[in-house]
Amino acid sequence: MLAACQTLLARACAQRDIALLMPVAARDDAAAEQVVGSLVNSVIVRAAVDADADVEQQLPRAREALLDALAQQALPYDELVAELRRLDPGWVEPRAMFNVLNMELRAPQLHGLDAELLSLRSDAALFDLHFSANLASGELSLSCAAELFSDAAAQSLLEDYLTLLRRWQ
């Protein structure tokens, strides 16, 4: 899915250097094991992408880029951004997020309490593009910054992504 997303963006932007933000669970510290709640950090997955590459060519590149990013996941995103800006004042943060959930979201079972899972959605896009896949439910979504993408453009981009995923299956 990551390789297909990178290829899609390389084709859409006519660029080889593709950087995506990905959220990762930030529980590598033993002290964090006792914390209740969501501990998430973002990593930058950056790869050189050939827009014409097939799946056999792009998968190893995507894997290497992801492993490189995960090797740095303990570094808080804000510190990474500050360091990159210090090294290159012209550096621009990635404006696309790629997120994969691989678990079913269920309401917690609490003794003596009724709980339900609520979906919180906002009309305000946090990123220019946000690809999100839930492997458990089979859902795939794309949210876009309305000032940059029309509904038709967003729909076309999502359809192109699905086409690429099907072709690469």
Pairing of strands 96-101, 40-48: unpaired
Residue predicted with more confidence, 62 or 28: 62
Distance CA 119, CA 106 (A): 11
* Domain span at 91: 2-25+39-103+126-164
| Residue 22 near residue 45 (C-beta atoms within 8 A) | yes
Distance CA 42, CA 24 (A): 6
89: part of which helix (H) or strand (E)?
Answer: none
Q: Is residue 6 part of a domain?
A: yes
Q: Is residue 138 part of a domain?
A: yes
- Residues 22-60: pLDDT tens digits? 999 876 667 767 777 778 899 999 999 999 988 999 999
- Give the pTM: 0.84
Please count the structural domains in the chain. 1
- Residues 96-134: pLDDT tens digits? 999 998 877 778 788 888 888 776 666 666 899 999 998
